[in-house]
Amino acid sequence: MTGTFGFSYVGLIFLACLFIPNILYARVPPTDAVKFEENKVLLACERAGQALCTVTVLIFSDFNVHSVDPRLLWLGGALVLMLLYLICWGRYFAGKHVTRDFLRPFLGLPLPLAVLPVAAALLLAVYGRVIWLGIAGVILGVGHIGITAQHWAALKKVERP
């Protein structure tokens, strides 16, 4: 439940799925960026959650595949969510690079680029039975989903004069 220290290649794969699109996004930001004031508490939660998730997925070997058992369904679920996350990024990069493509719902899921990676982290925590990632994922979720919801609300105000 507390985790076994050791390198996690599964964690590294998850981080690559998160970092690569975000690095590309920094190079190709939206052409219509909407400015808004981020809530400081949510921002602190987001940053703390990002740091804690990053460290946690790398330092516990419990996330690696050790045997074939029913728990792999949790890992499979996490991988599916990460694949959907990457598809949402593809939608942004293949489009006009506008904020709407970055934030709009996907398959009925609101704020998919915020919800999907948080949900994937929580499923990964269940799979690895590492409570620290679960806690980090909740902290990240509060901040990241909260800020993204603020961003979506600001975009809707701009679109509706």
Residue 103 lies in a domain: yes
**pLDDT of residue 160 exceeding 80:** no
d(CA 64, CA 4): 11
Q: How confident is the model at residue 161 (pLDDT cuts 50, 70, 90)?
A: low
d(CA 137, CA 22): 18
Residue 7 lies in a domain: no
Residue 82 lies in a domain: yes
Q: How far is CA 45 from the centre of its chain?
A: 14
Q: Read off the tokens for 54.
A: 């990053």
Residue 69 lies in a domain: yes
- Note the pTM of the prediction, 2 decimals: 0.94
- Count how many domains the chain has: 1
Residue 139 lies in a domain: yes
Q: Which of 50, 61, 44, 47 is nearest to 19 (CA)?
A: 50
Domain enclosing residue 131, as ranges: 43-159
φ and ψ of 95, to 5 deg: -90, -155
d(CA 53, CA 84): 19
Any idea what DSSP says for residue 32? T
pLDDT in tens, 86-124: 999 999 999 999 999 889 999 999 999 999 999 999 999
Residue 25 lies in a domain: no
Look up tokens 């369904």; give the residue. Answer: 73
Q: Read off the tokens for 30.
A: 């939206």
For residue 127, the model assigns a pLDDT of 98
Contact, 102 vs 30, CB < 8 A? yes
Average pLDDT over residues 1-19: 96
d(CA 150, CA 14): 26
Residue 10 lies in a domain: no
Q: Which of 10, 41, 75, 32 is nearest to 143 (CA)?
A: 41
Residue 12 lies in a domain: no
pLDDT in tens, 28-80: 999 988 888 899 999 999 999 999 999 999 999 999 999 999 999 999 999 99
